[in-house]
């Protein structure tokens, strides 16, 4: 491995998080940087912020860029909670031009899942594992025997007549001022729907809300095992670095 310390960038609807990551140990080596996502969140505005973060951290080697979209062959095909001008945009290629270094462009929930499968709550688990990141929306990553099934987008699954994330995300919990039991009742319905479709061995609950897991974890219920994400809000950053290192499966 040419460089073991790589930059992971995690672009979200409200913030852009980043850190240098030791991809051999699966830990950050700098504090987690968090910058508000520009408005409007157009490609050039977002990538200029990413370029500045890269300079600030004096990063070297390949960069991992996690993003809230279906990413196919380096092209963003959707734009959930981000400016629609990203659709059809080669985000990794453009950032690579700005940095003059290789960039790996990956779905943000897939990146979070990579962190949990390689060095977190899903390490060594066989069968189907589904990682759920609750934030502005709901990101999902699915793995079969440690291998990523990319771009699942189960946050947009039809659920009570709407997208699941329109009723069950962490943002909705805040906006509707739901207490933990009320929110977890919705999450349990959502887990039941996913379990009926995919029969996972394990659900991993991630995103920034996982930092409050002690307050709500006992309220969650599923035939599958449920675990808190080991990396919390850092999972996307760590997983982006793993993707940059070429670690796509366990």
Question: What HEC string does 76-122 produce?
Answer: ECCCCCCCHHHCCCCHHHHHHHHHCCCEEEEEHHHHHHHHHHHHCCC
d(Cα 60, Cα 192) in Å, to the nearest integer?
Answer: 43
Question: Which of 145, 105, 96, 152 lies closest to 122 in space, CA to CA?
Answer: 145
d(Cα 191, Cα 195) in Å, to the nearest integer?
Answer: 6
Residue 248: the pLDDT is: 58
* Residue 132 and residue 77 share a domain: no
d(Cα 247, Cα 114) in Å, to the nearest integer?
Answer: 8
* Residue 187 and residue 173 share a domain: yes
Residue 13: the pLDDT is: 86
* Residue 39 and residue 79 share a domain: yes
* Residue 202 and residue 153 share a domain: yes
* Residue 200 and residue 162 share a domain: yes
d(Cα 42, Cα 76) in Å, to the nearest integer?
Answer: 13
Q: Which long-range contacts (CB under 8 A, 24 or more apart) does 50-56 make?
A: 50/9, 50/11, 50/16, 50/18, 50/95, 50/98, 51/95, 51/98, 51/99, 53/7, 53/9, 53/16, 53/18, 54/7, 54/99
* Residue 105 and residue 34 share a domain: yes
Residue 2: the pLDDT is: 61
Below-50 pLDDT ranges, the chain: 1, 249-250
Range of the domain at 31: 5-110+234-244
Say if CB 243 and CB 235 are below 8 A apart.
no
> Rounded to 5 degrees, what angle do the CA atoms 78, 83, 84 make?
45
Q: What is the number of domains present in the chain?
A: 2
* Residue 222 and residue 134 share a domain: yes
Say if CB 236 and CB 111 are below 8 A apart.
yes
Q: Is residue 115 part of a domain?
A: no
Q: Is residue 204 part of a domain?
A: yes
Q: Is residue 34 part of a domain?
A: yes
Q: Is residue 117 part of a domain?
A: no
* Residue 70 and residue 13 share a domain: yes
Q: Is residue 203 part of a domain?
A: yes
* Residue 225 and residue 133 share a domain: yes
* Residue 149 and residue 60 share a domain: no
Q: Is residue 249 part of a domain?
A: no
What b/e sequence results for 50-88 when a residue is b if at least 16 CB atoms lie within 10 Å of its CB, and e otherwise?
beebbeebebebbbbbbbbbbbeebbbbbbbbbbeebee
Q: Is residue 118 part of a domain?
A: no
Q: What is the largest CA-CA distance in the chain?
A: 49
pLDDT digit string, tens, across residues 2-58:
679 999 999 988 899 999 999 999 999 999 999 999 999 999 999 999 999 999 999
* Residue 101 and residue 135 share a domain: no
CATH number at residue 62: 3.30.420.40
Q: Is residue 28 part of a domain?
A: yes
* Residue 102 and residue 87 share a domain: yes
């Amino acid at each position: 491995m040419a460089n073991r310390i790589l930059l992971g960038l995690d672009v979200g609807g409200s913030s852009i998080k980043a850190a240098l990551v030791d991809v051999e140990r699966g830990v950050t080596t700098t504090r987690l940087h968090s910058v508000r996502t520009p408005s409007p969140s157009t490609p050039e505005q977002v990538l200029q912020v990413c370029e500045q973060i890269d300079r600030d951290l004096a990063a070297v080697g390949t960069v991992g860029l996690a993003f809230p979209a279906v990413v196919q062959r380096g092209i963003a095909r959707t734009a959930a909670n981000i400016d629609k001008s990203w659709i059809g945009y080669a985000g990794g290629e453009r950032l690579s031009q700005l940095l003059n270094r290789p960039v790996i462009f990956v779905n943000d929930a897939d990146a979070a899942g990579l962190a949990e499968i390689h060095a977190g709550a899903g390490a060594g688990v066989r069968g189907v594992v589904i990682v759920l990141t609750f934030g502005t929306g709901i990101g999902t990553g699915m793995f079969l025997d440690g291998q990523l099934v990319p771009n699942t987008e189960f946050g947009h699954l039809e659920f009570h007549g709407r997208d699941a994330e329109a009723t069950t995300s962490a943002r909705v919990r805040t906006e509707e001022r739901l207490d933990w039991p009320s929110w977890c009742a919705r999450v349990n319905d959502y887990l039941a729907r996913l379990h009926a479709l995919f029969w996972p061995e394990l659900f991993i609950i991630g995103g920034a809300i996982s930092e409050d897991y002690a307050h709500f974890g006992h309220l969650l219920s599923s035939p599958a095992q449920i675990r808190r994400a080991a990396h919390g809000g850092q999972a996307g950053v760590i997983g982006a670095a793993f993707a940059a290192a070429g670690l796509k499966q366990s």
